[in-house]
Amino acid sequence: MANDYDKIFKENIQAIFPSLSRRYLGIEVAKSEPIKDKLQKTIEREADFLQKVTTTKGEQLIVHLEFQSNDDPKMLERMRLYHALIKQKYDFPIRQFVIYLGKKTSAMQTQLKPSEIFTGFELLDLQTFDYQDLVNADVPEEVILAILSNFDDKEASNVLMQIIQRLKELSTSPVTLKKYTYHLLTLARLRNLAPIT
């Protein structure tokens, strides 16, 4: 079931991305290109030293040590990856240290720039979007999203009729209208609107 929704969004996102970026993400896109690479990767790392510690103050944390004999320009990225893997597995605060063993003074970057730090993500909740803005969109894939938005106390059946009417206006053929209607009905299940469809 969830795959049905994912499939619809993956199929439609390219068409709505420019408008979505401008109207809801606050990003004015001059040019964009898809990145087709899969991000899946089997990652197995073995830390040089990893220890669960309870301090004298009763705090629990993970201490991670890496021993490095040469200046590795990618060390910060390696430590960031270790941090993500350790945090995901153990969910404790982490203190990381690289113990440098080299002859020359190390020039390794030890801190991320503010723009490189993951501090969370921005959440866009479609239930807070005004359905009328989406119904009035010029892109059918965007109009479909109105079924997941805020209906402002309007009857779901009336909103559905507005969406279908707008899809009829924007569809270039009966085949495309059928596709958009199928997408609409599938997404309606996310809001338990299937009985009215």
Query: What are the boundaries of each domain within the chain?
Result: 49-108, 123-197
- Contact status, residue 152 vs residue 130, Cβ threshold 8 Å: yes
Instruction: Give the pLDDT confidence score for residue 78 in this predicted structure.
Output: 94
pTM more than 0.85: no
Instruction: Give the pLDDT confidence score for residue 44 in this predicted structure.
Output: 81
Q: What single string gives the DSSP state of each residue in 54-100?
A: E-TTS-EEEEEEEEESS--TTHHHHHHHHHHHHHHHH-S-EEEEEEE
Sheet containing 60-68: give its strands across. 49-54, 60-68, 94-100
Q: pLDDT > 90: what percent of the chain? A: 66
Mark the ranges of the chain whose per-residue pLDDT is less than 50.
Answer: none
